[in-house]
């Protein structure tokens, strides 16, 4: 799955799908942070928010890696987690979509 | 400034002052976290909140050390930062209060 196997049309589709998923996840995270922050009253709550943010940061930093060598796996994970829909990957060649779909079932 | 130099009356005063300062700082922190959280819109804002919380945690964990050997310095810092008023330390012997007052000017 190296760089050369992705056509320029596929790259455009992939980039858009990737950004859409990230945008959705950021929106959800922003909303969750606001909701959590509105309920904190004591120091433990503050540190729990801190721990939550550190964990999410680690997870998001690791997950959103736009490298063509791993993009199939990234997309499968994003579909699995609900940040991306399979139909948003239309435009990628059938073989890649089949692989992504298969990976979402693992 | 070891343990034995604090009378039981002084310990009661010290404990109450310490808790009062911590309570004030927690209240201020909770309000600031809520205010900051209400303005976040993008991922960078979320991570900035995370960094802010990590820094405050480190600072608060380090500052609120209830050990009689360092309590004079802790109180001086809390007064300096406005979390405690000198008059709230009435009940400590004059010598300690003089030291605390002098330290707040450094």
Contact of B50 with chain A, judged by CB distance below 8 Å, is answered with yes
- Residue A63 CA to residue A22 CA, distance in Å, equals 10
The model's pTM is 0.88
Query: Can you tell me the ipTM of this complex?
Result: 0.86
Give the Cβ contact number of residue B63 at 10 Å: 15
* Model pLDDT for residues A50-59, shown as the tens digit of each residue: 999 999 999 9
Q: Residue A106 pLDDT more than 90? A: no
Residues of chain A contacting B47 with CB distance shorter than 8 Å: 53, 57
Provide the 8-state DSSP code for B30: H
Q: What is the mean pLDDT of residues A2-12?
A: 83
Query: B18: Cβ–Cβ under 8 A, 6 or more apart, which residues?
Result: B64, B66, B71, B74, B75, B78
Q: What is the mean pLDDT of residues B12-34?
A: 97
Tell me how close the Cα of B53 comes to any Cα of chain A, in angstroms.
Answer: 6
* Model pLDDT for residues B26-75, shown as the tens digit of each residue: 999 999 999 999 999 999 999 999 999 999 999 999 999 899 999 999 99
Residues of chain B contacting A26 with CB distance shorter than 8 Å: 42-43, 46
Residue B43: per-residue pLDDT: 96
């Amino acid at each position: 799955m190296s760089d050369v196997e992705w056509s320029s049309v596929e790259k455009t589709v992939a980039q858009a799908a990737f950004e859409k998923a990230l945008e959705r996840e950021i929106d959800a995270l922003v909303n969750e942070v606001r909701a959590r922050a509105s309920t904190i009253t004591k120091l433990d709550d503050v540190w729990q928010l801190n721990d939550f943010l550190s964990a999410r940061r680690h997870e998001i930093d690791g997950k959103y890696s736009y490298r063509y060598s791993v993009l199939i796996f990234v997309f499968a994970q994003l579909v699995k987690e609900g940040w991306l829909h399979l139909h948003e990957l239309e435009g990628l060649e059938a073989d890649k979509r089949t692989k992504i779909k298969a990976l979402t079932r693992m």
